[in-house]
Amino acid sequence: MIARGRALGRSGIEIGELAFGAAGIGNLFTPVTDADAEEAVAAAWESGVRYFDTAPHYGLGLSERRLGPALRGRPRDEYVLSTKVGRLLRPAPEPVGDDLAHGFAVPATHRRVWDFTAAGVRRSIEDSLERLGLDRIDVVHLHDPDDHAEQALTEAYPELARLRAEGTVGAVGVGMNRAGLLARFVRETDLDTVLLAGRYSLLDQRGLTELLPLAAERGVGVVIGGVFNSGLLADPRPGATFDYTAAPEELVARALDLKAVCAEHGVPLRAAALRFPFGHPAVAAVLVGTRNAAEVRDAAAMLRHRVPDALWAELKDRELLPPGVPTPQEAT
């Protein structure tokens, strides 16, 4: 089973160490059948996963439409559900082609409209509840406010804070891959959690510069996404992807070196990649995007895999990790 993680800020919401990222069942890059999506959620539940994250962006709502029914028969107080606001879905006047330009293998039936207004936040939550078919959303993230930071700070966040005060949502967060901008949100607002994608991994520790220490200081629970950096740390090889583009040769070589050291200690690289973020006290969970039951079970097994302290020490000795980066301590 998955160990319990940490609380998300002062919300009272606790999550396990492994979160189910539902972009995959929204047909991220390739189609997934309804059956595979349902079986992935079932496998997550059987593995002890109780935190499920989705967004309107994922498959033009397909992820939410699949995740809600898959969870509907589960005891509602036993799991945590998060979705996101910032993109409203509007019917396309003349649907043509697919949505692969945005990364999803679904028909282009809708278009995304950026909206970080207070009214947009309310509309987005209402639409998500309708697609999910569930009675509430526990955590709401501002989604990718990179180019809309001022409006997100002055309009969307205050509305989410009001909804939290009213009890409509349990916790408020921000999800994106820009650690510096996330740090600004942590400094200037009263967030419960942040979802940091791809910036705290064995290959990229930019989240450690400011965000993670600040989150620890302010009691903000951090969920780390992208621990495999979109594929390179899951299966390092020429042609593998890093941040969704072809990985440079030097990064492939570094990932292969990481894999070799892990193998010397009897640890799959995937296991080390999943365990690494928990060295920092601000990290509450890792979020893994999975599209079928086999991938879910593998992630759960890898997170349970023993990772000895000696592995982290050797990675530092070989300069594959910076000397000052915090690493997990093996349970005794």
State phi, psi for 142 to the nearest 5 degrees: -70, 125
Write the DSSP string, 68-122: HHHHTTS-GGG-EEEEEESEEEEE-SS--SEEGGGTEEEE--EEEEE--SHHHHH
| Pair 327, 312: CB distance under 8 Å | yes
- In this structure, the number of other CB atoms found within 10 A of the CB of residue 311 comes to 23
Write the DSSP string, 206-245: GGGTTHHHHHHHHT-EEEEE-TTGGGTTTS-STT-EETTE
Q: Could you confirm whether 79 is annotated as catalytic?
A: no
* Bridge partner residues of 90 (DSSP): 111
pLDDT at 6: 78
| Pair 50, 231: CB distance under 8 Å | no
Q: pLDDT tens track of the chain, all 332 residues?
A: 565 667 898 899 999 999 999 999 999 999 999 999 999 999 999 999 999 999 999 999 999 999 999 999 999 999 999 999 999 999 999 889 999 999 999 999 999 999 999 999 999 999 999 999 999 999 999 999 999 999 999 999 999 999 999 999 999 999 999 999 999 999 999 999 999 999 999 999 999 999 999 999 999 999 999 999 999 999 999 999 999 899 999 999 999 999 999 999 999 999 999 999 999 999 999 999 999 999 999 999 999 999 999 999 999 999 999 999 999 998 64
Q: Which of 58, 79, 157, 200 is catalytic?
A: 58
Cα-based distances in Å from 198 to 43, 47, 282? 25, 24, 16
CB within 8 A of 156, min separation 6: which ones? 85, 86, 116, 117, 118, 120, 121, 142, 145
